[in-house]
Amino acid sequence: MIEIHLLEVLVTFARYGTLAKAAEVLGLTQPALTHSLKSLEDQLGVQLFIRKPNRLILTESGQYAVQEAQKILKLDTQFTDKVRHFEQSNTTITVGANAPGPLIVVNSLAAPNISVKEVHVQQGFENILNEEQVTCLLTNRDLHDQQITSMYLGTERMGINLPPDTSLIDLPELKFADLAGRTFLCPQEIGFWQSIYESHIPNGRFIYQDESSEYQALLQYSSLPFFTTNLTRLDPHWGTGLPDNRIFKPLADDVAQQPFYMNFLKRNQMRLTPFIERVQDQWAQAD
């Protein structure tokens, strides 16, 4: 059986074209590199090189061997990555989401062996799960197919914090459209909520902040309205230091009430059930 390191030597030689450079890249002496290439030839029983003084040239068979070796090395890397990821997924629950709210709940648990991906994904949910990029994916729609199932976690309810002198606070029911033409201060990373704000508030203007301390300071020293949900207070960064001189009004739009589900591979359900129950309980307490 051909050893992987011999294929690595062959591909590296083909890439750099000289024994000296390939040996330098691989951290080998030139005699050791030459010995490895000769060993590969002997094991294959095929002439891979034309030998000239201080130089090797790949034969046509050698060039073909390089192409096949590259394919094998790619498969070897994929194999290694998949096995390592499988091991990690069995010891660590990796959580992704398409909005910050459910991740706020997860982070507030401070549970061991939980790894949270803070980047909010907006597409390819099924592929992300089937490729095991995460153990579970928290989204505002439930996913179901042959391999994937889901469980309801809770609903995130959006509201707006308004200065007390605005006439909007007297409305019996407030909707996104009622906020038309106003300027709002918002955190930068809010997932799909950004598209909801921008598509449902006519002529709205949005100032996005990526630093929580600057966000808090701007809110304290201005009268800008800002959005919060029933989950915001669980966030130690974006849910603290907020001004108390605004009036909170819930938003009545259906789109302002977003149910969230934990989606996962069916084979992981038993392992995830205790974690799911903890998230559900924490969410219920936030309500």
Q: How far apart are CA 98 and CA 90, in angstroms?
A: 23
Query: Is the pLDDT reported for residue 76 higher than 80?
Result: yes
Separation CA 211–CA 213 (nearest Å): 6
The pTM of the full predicted model, rounded to 2 decimals, is 0.68
pLDDT tens digit string along 27-57?
A: 888 888 888 888 888 898 989 888 888 788 8
Q: Give the CATH class of 155-257.
A: alpha beta
The confidence band for 279, taking pLDDT boundaries of 50, 70 and 90, is very high
What are the extents of the domains in the chain?
4-90, 92-152+260-286, 155-257
CB 219 within 8 A of CB 226: yes
What is the DSSP-derived secondary structure letter of residue 54? T
Average pLDDT, the chain: 91
Cα–Cα dist 94/211, whole Å: 25
Give the list of residues 6+ apart from residue 101 with CB closer than 8 angstroms, or none: 156, 229, 231, 258, 260
Tokens representing residue 260 in the block: 């969230």
Other CB atoms within a 10 A radius of the CB of residue 169 amount to 15
Residue 88 reports pLDDT greater than 60: no
Chain mean position to CA 233: 24
Is residue 1 predicted with pLDDT exceeding 90?
no
pLDDT over 70 percentage in the chain: 97
Which structure tokens are listed for 84?
A: 């390592």
Position 14, amino acid:
A
SS3 call for 248:
strand
Q: Which CATH architecture has domain 92-152+260-286?
A: 3-Layer(aba) Sandwich (3.40)
Q: What is the average pLDDT across 116-123?
A: 86
Chain-centre distance for alpha carbon 27: 35
> Would you identify the CATH topology of the domain 4-90?
Arc Repressor Mutant, subunit A (1.10.10)
Whole-number pLDDT of residue 90:
62
| 146-180 residue pLDDT tens | 999 999 999 999 999 999 999 999 999 999 999 99
Compute the residue count for the chain: 287
4-90 and 155-257: same fold? no
Element (H, E) at 59: none
Two tokens, residue 254: 């259906």
